[in-house]
Amino acid sequence: MKIDGLTKLSFLKSQQLIVQQLIVQKIIAKSGARVNVPLFMMLGFIMLVFCAKCVYKMVLVAYLTFGN
């Protein structure tokens, strides 16, 4: 059951990332070409940080579940 929960969580996170990427693409499409490079880099960095936190939490949960 716990493995299913983890896979569901990772699936939801991947869905969320896809939605975020679509939103970023729409923002870039609306704003000019001049703005898009630093904006994209900043958003990419923020998403990377959030991803690292999510991965850390998932690894921690997996360790606590299967480590003992």
| pLDDT tens digits, 14-51 | 777 778 777 777 766 776 555 556 766 777 777 777 77
Average pLDDT over residues 46-58: 74
CA 45/CA 7 separation, integer angstroms: 25
Count of alpha carbons within 13 angstroms of residue 16, beta-carbon side: 10
The model's pTM is 0.33
Q: How does DSSP classify residue 32? A: -
Total count of domains within the chain:
1
Asked if residue 44 lies in contact with residue 17, where contact means CB atoms within 8 angstroms, the answer is no
- Collapsing DSSP states into helix, strand and coil, what is residue 68? coil
Q: How does DSSP classify residue 65? A: H
| Contacts with 28 (C-beta within 8 Å, 6 or more apart), sequence order | 35, 36, 39, 40
Q: Can you give the residue range of the structural domain that contains 23?
A: 2-66
